[in-house]
Amino acid sequence: MILFVIIAVVALLYIGQTSYYEKHWANGLTAKLSFSKSVAKIGEKLELVEEVSNNKWLPLPHLHVKFMTSNSFDFDNKDNSTVTDHYYRNDIFTLLGYQKTERTLTFKTTKRGYFEILDSDLISGDIFFRRTFAKQEKNFTGLYVYPSLLDKANYPSALTNRDGELAAPLSYNINQYSYRGSREYIEGDPLNHINWKRTAKEQQLMTNLYTPVIEQEVTMIVNFKPFYENSKDDLLEYVIRIIATLSDYYLRNNVHLHLYTNAYEGDKISPFYMPHLNAKSQLDSLMKGLSTINLKREPKDINDVLSDIKHISQSEDQTLIFISNDRTKQLINSYLDLKRLYLSSSFIMPEYALVPIKIDIPDMVYWEVVK
């Protein structure tokens, strides 16, 4: 009789604990994934932190945390992982009641892009592994990996000075002025320079004095349609590095930059434009935009972009930098038509060393693409 009672009690516990776990296993259970930084460079070491918390008395003898991220991340610890078109991870935790634990995964970035982890799958079970329970935990963590800047050894000589550094563009805008004081009005001074407050105070006409502000301005137009389809992904990645390198130099040297491309950021409906870049503090915004350019999407027709620029750009005092691997007759004619609006211009053509270039443009700059 006693044996029967014991067996009955054990059976009730066996079945009962399954029912209890099914109702309560997910209560107070959270899992958070986060990158140690929000921006990084290619080749940089970062950490992905898994934080799991069981905020209830009920222990979880086995908890699987499954998530997916980019296969471009090179993790030091490759246990519990599978790499195909993505990186899949399945980490196992044991949690007592009211316990929180962290696990840090170290990895190296190898590719430009914007990478997100939006959720994770939590899978657990009862004490005797009789049943398995699962839920999806919403999560958001994102990482921008900036494109690498090119070394000086990769610069075309046509764009460098005697020291091998990039040279400043040849455009100057003197249409802006900075106030430097006032003096008594002289016949012939512009009437719109009269300082009426000083005039009232001094009881005679006073005129403002201004110093011309010399500013350099560059309009950079980038065509992401290649001339050949072979190896186009590597070539276009190199084009992004050219944009990043030139833009970094211009903004650090206080050159005003107007950037237009026919490529798209992610799934946005408009091409990537940044028409008002005028300070190095805006470099992060630019690099984030370049990180998200989606080369899998067909670029917009470059002629539509050029049409937009003709309507919005005041270009008489600016330098035009046109970057394109495509050199069809139609595109070259469009470039020649556009360059008339600018003070100076350069047609930068990125291409592999073994690919022949059979065109002759006086201001063409060949930029060798190096894998």
Q: What does the alpha-carbon distance between residue 369 and residue 349 come to, in Å, rounded to a whole number?
A: 10
The reported pTM is 0.83
Out of 124-128, 314-318, 362-366, give the one with best mean pLDDT.
Answer: 362-366
Q: What's the CATH code, domain 152-171+216-369?
A: 3.40.50
At 309, the pLDDT band (50, 70, 90 cuts) reads confident
Domain locations along the chain: 26-146, 152-171+216-369, 177-213
Residue 35 is encoded by which pair of tokens?
Answer: 């990158």
In our burial notation (b when 16+ CB lie closer than 10 A, e otherwise), range 141-169 reads bebbbbbebbeeeebbeebeeeeeebeeb
Query: Span 138-151, mean pLDDT?
Result: 96
C-alpha angle 153/159/160, rounded to 5°? 60
Measure the CA–CA gap between 182 and 289, rounded to whole angstroms. Answer: 44
Contact criterion met (CB below 8 Å) for 58 and 24: yes
Res 343 pLDDT > 90: no
pLDDT tens sequence across 147-170: 999 999 999 988 888 778 888 775
Query: Class for domain 26-146, per CATH?
Result: mainly beta
Q: Residue 294 above 90 pLDDT?
A: yes
Judging by DSSP bridges, how do beta strands 74-75 and 45-54 pair with one another?
unpaired
Instruction: Say yes or no to pLDDT of 129 above 50.
Output: yes
The neighbour count for residue 135, using CB atoms within 10 Å, is: 13
Mean pLDDT across 237-265? 95
